[in-house]
Homo-oligomer: A and B are copies of this chain.
Amino acid sequence: MAGTRDDDAAWHAYARAVGTELHRRRIEAGLTQETLAHLAGMTRSHYRVLETGGSATSPANPTLRAMSRLAAALGIDVQDLLPTTGR
């Protein structure tokens, strides 16, 4: 159920996986954190939280529109940044 400790830990793991893929795609596109953050209309510090996945007590939780802007700046779809859970 939503909001349990397991759910929080699972979400933090998901957020870290999104951050890892975001980092990989950014390096592949040859962009600095500063440039990608600017292109996506967010501050560099906000971007950095997304790329690290945030902390266990405050995991990253971007809006779908922020993800969409990042994907557009990288020339990919939002899906390309998301891990598959194999459901």
Contact = CB atoms under 8 A, between A and B. Distances in A.
Count of this chain's copies in the oligomeric assembly: 2
Interface residues of A, number: 30
A40 to B, nearest CB: 6
A66 B64 CA distance: 10
A32 B59 CA distance: 30
A64 B65 contact: no
B65 A63 contact: no
Given A41-B2, A41-B3, A11 B85 contact: no
Nearest to A75: B87
Interface in A71-86: 71-72, 75-79, 82, 84-86
Contacts of A41: 1-3
